[in-house]
Amino acid sequence: MSTGANPPGNAARGTARRRLLRLSRIGQPAMAATLAFVIAFALAGVVAAFVALQWQTAAEQRFARRAAALRETVEQALIADEALLRGARGWLAQAGAADPEGWQHYVSGIDLENSRAAVVGLGYFALPSGVQNATPAQPGTATLWAGLTAMPNTAPRSAFGQSAASEAARRYAVQTGNAGLAAEPAADNAPPQLMLYLPAYVPQTVPQAVPSAAAAPAASPAQRPFSGFAVASLDPQRLFEPILAAQPDLALDVHAGQPAVELYRSAPTEAAEVTPGTRFEHIDNLAFGGATLTLDASTDGSPLLTGAATCAAAILLAGAVIASLCAVLAYRLARAQAACALAPEPAEGGADLNEARMMGIIRSSMEAIITVDETQRIVIFNPAAEFVFGLSAMEAIGSPLSRFIPARFRAAHERHVEQFGATGVTERQMGHQQRVLFGLRANGEEFPIEASISQIRDTSGKLYTVMLRDITERLRAENSLKRSREELRELSANLQNVREAEKTRIARELHDDLGQQLTALKIDVSALENRLRGAIDSDSAERLAGMRKLIDSTVKAVRRIAADLRPVMLDDLGLVPAIEWLANDFTNRYGIAVQRHIHTGNAAFSSPAATALFRIVQEALTNVARHAEASVVVLTLEVDGQHCTLRIVDNGHGALANPGNSPERTRHDKSFGLLGIRERVHMFNGTVEIDTAPGEGFAIAITFELDALQSEETAS
């Protein structure tokens, strides 16, 4: 027995340990894949929950804004109904309450059945016989009534006008002179209704001779004697159903008074019946005519309807796919690591085999590969390099690398290789941004290349391998694209100038030619009206007056169109007054307040620059009106040193911004307004910065060099 032999027990134990190690390494890939899947899917679940919560919050905020707008709409409808009642009181003041047929004719002319008003009946309630200036608690007797419903006081007196709400409404109407609102509860067969009371005053007579030179002060509404009440009956169904028709997904409950009287309850929506669950609710109080209406608006807030569940499901699905990919990748990496650990030691001929494999990869590569030694002489020259440089490998191997480098770059290249050999650091990496290098073909032609370099040490010393790519066609395409982009920008600038000139010409022709003709036509119509006054009937006189009003409105329309095309004050008064006019016109049109901070000092802008700044502001305000749903816009124009800054910020719903300061709104694939702004800014070498986020408004800031906005005469 040899002393170096292992006992049989030790060999068995070594074999068992190797088997256990092999089994443990075989199980590692599955464990790594499972762990990777669980972690990735858990992260996707967290992201999905966060996005769903934010989505629900945004949906609830949108509902709150809609409910607030609903309150304003109801208030405007009540104001319109009050205006109709005031018109009826005006008729009573002229015709009196002793003309029932005239009253019926007046109310039928209003056409309550086809009108948008909620009024279903109009009447006049005189004071009780023999009572002068009765208290507001006395409803009086229904003297006149007409409309879609029967006279209210045909029922017992307890059924109409005697409630505490009606007494309070009449008292409010007498004290303030405005309409008082009362909610009448449902009777036996009659639904609840709203009543508007408006005091009808005794006409005041003016004495023939006034002893005092000073006129007597007018009596307050509470002091003036009144003869009764003009009354309007409002149907809650007609009041609230047209408002809800525009928003069919909302449910509305309306109550009034203390104790609360239910005036209206909308039918449950289809979504609430199909998917009952979470609901958004907003309660608002509307004070009108001395009464308070409680508006309880609600809508289905189920994540299935708001889109939160769909978004979360999409994120979870994407997370599951990504988690599966991570699991597969982790499994393959762990399996490769285990295979390397279990692989046997390479045999003596393994080095030759690896070298053969490496040479096979180098020869089949589509990139040109050149390997040089420490003296920078070529030792490997693959077929792709033969094609790029135009000579065979037999001619290239053994020659210096400088043969393929233009003479002006050879010294710099040698220093770079020496530095790389000493430090291992290089700025030349394929695919990374780097300056363009140049190579030299066998026929003496220079061409641009992109290259990366690596090094390795073997028994003979260091070897440097360069992988390079001919980028002649790519640079040609990039230069062509750059020239095309510049030509398109020049064409866009020229189109902007031509368009602005055409707008100016059309605006001038509208203002000068058409405006003067309309003015002359108005003068002729006025002269004709004066000449024929007294000689024509009232119908013809009214037609002439209508023609004069139509000419006036046409003149205003022509001036407005001309101002929209090209404001005259932009050419006459300058940029700042034109922006002030534009902001005021924007507020008048859309009801959005514009806070202005304009500080230009003594800076004078050239005509093209003033036009560009004005159009940028106009386009930005137009985008706010169309998309932002904002209530306030802050406009800032400042000149600071050698820079001019224009900033426009709104408090609207904002937008989703992608990298590169190029925002895209969720409901619009492209924003041509922003593209137009960018082109105008580019004409004067300015920069555009956009800051926005969902629910946090939209801000656009533009910066110019002041010299670019001034003409040569102004700058000098």
494 and 631 share one domain: no
Please give the residue range of the domain that contains residue 676: 572-716
- With a cut of 50, which residues of the chain have pLDDT below it? 1-12, 14-16, 20-21, 23-24, 130-134, 137, 154-159, 205-218, 222, 345-348, 427, 430-433, 657-669, 712-716
Any domain includes 696: yes
Domain count, the chain: 3
Among candidate residues 535, 566, 597, the one where a domain is terminated: 566
639 and 593 share one domain: yes
Among candidate residues 566, 581, 598, the one where a domain is terminated: 566
Contacts of range 138-144, beta carbons closer than 8 Å, 24 or more positions apart? 139/166, 139/170, 139/229, 140/228, 140/229, 142/231, 143/97, 143/228, 144/92, 144/97, 144/100, 144/103
- The confidence score (pLDDT) of residue 4 equals 40
R_g over Cα of the chain: 43
- The confidence score (pLDDT) of residue 142 equals 64
Residue type, 642: Q
- The confidence score (pLDDT) of residue 46 equals 92
- The confidence score (pLDDT) of residue 11 equals 45
Any domain includes 218: no
Do residues 421 and 455 lie in contact, with contact meaning Cβ atoms separated by under 8 Å? Answer: yes
- The confidence score (pLDDT) of residue 635 equals 93
638 and 707 share one domain: yes
541 and 617 share one domain: no
382 and 455 share one domain: yes
- The confidence score (pLDDT) of residue 188 equals 67
C-alpha distances (whole Å) from 399 to each of 375, 453, 649 are 10, 19, 66
Q: What is the pTM of this model?
A: 0.42
- The confidence score (pLDDT) of residue 706 equals 84
Q: Which residues are within 8 A (CB) of 270 and not within 5 positions of it... i.e. 6 or more apart?
A: none
485 and 464 share one domain: no
Q: Count Cβ atoms below 10 Å from residue 514 Cβ, excluding itself.
A: 16
422 and 509 share one domain: no
C-alpha distances (whole Å) from 12 to each of 9, 17, 305, 678 are 5, 9, 68, 79
CATH of residue 383's domain is: 3.30.450.20
- The confidence score (pLDDT) of residue 207 equals 45
The pLDDT tens digits of the residues spanning 128-146 come to 654 444 455 455 566 788 8
CATH of residue 612's domain is: 3.30.565.10
Helices (H), 96-127: 100-110
Pick the closest to residue 624 from 646, 648, 647, 656 (CA basis).
Answer: 648
Do residues 77 and 239 lie in contact, with contact meaning Cβ atoms separated by under 8 Å? Answer: yes
Among candidate residues 516, 542, 566, the one where a domain is terminated: 566
Pick the closest to residue 437 from 487, 480, 401 (CA basis).
Answer: 401
